[in-house]
Amino acid sequence: MSIHALYGFFSAKMLPLLWAFLGIGVLITIHECGHFVFCKLFGVHTPTFSIGFGPEIFRKKIGTTNFRLAAIPLGGYVEIAGHAEVGQGDQEFASVVGPESFESKSYWQKILVMSGGSFLTLFSPF
C-alpha cells in the first residue's frame, strides 16, 4: 500500500472516527462538569472526577478532588460522597455521612446535583 493510499484511507475512514470520539469526549466532560459544579456549589465532597474508562493516562489532585483521564473517552463519572451508584465498582466514599455528604443535602439540592449534567449538556454551546 502506497503512502498516498494510506493517507487517503486515514483521512476518509479514520479521521471522522477520531473526530467522533473527540466530540463524545467533550460532551461527556461537559456533562460531568454539570454534576461537579453543583456538588461544589452545595458543598458536597467529590473525591474523583474522571473522563474515560480503562487504563489511566493522567491523574492530578487539585484540592480534595483527583482529576483523572483514562484511555477510552466514552464514559466518565464524578464520585459523590454519600451517594452509592449501582455497578460502579468500589466506591470508597459512598457511605460517608456528614455535612459534605450528598445524603445530608435537601431534596432540591440533590435534584440539581443529579440533573446538573443534563442541564449543562443541553445548554452548552456544543
43: closest CA among 114, 117, 98, 5?
Answer: 98
CA 57 to chain CA centroid, nearest Å: 15
Give residue for cell 443529579.
Answer: 114
Positions annotated as catalytic residues are 32
Alpha-carbon distance of 63 to 93, in angstroms, equals: 16
Half-sphere exposure of 99 (CA within 13 A, CB side): 1
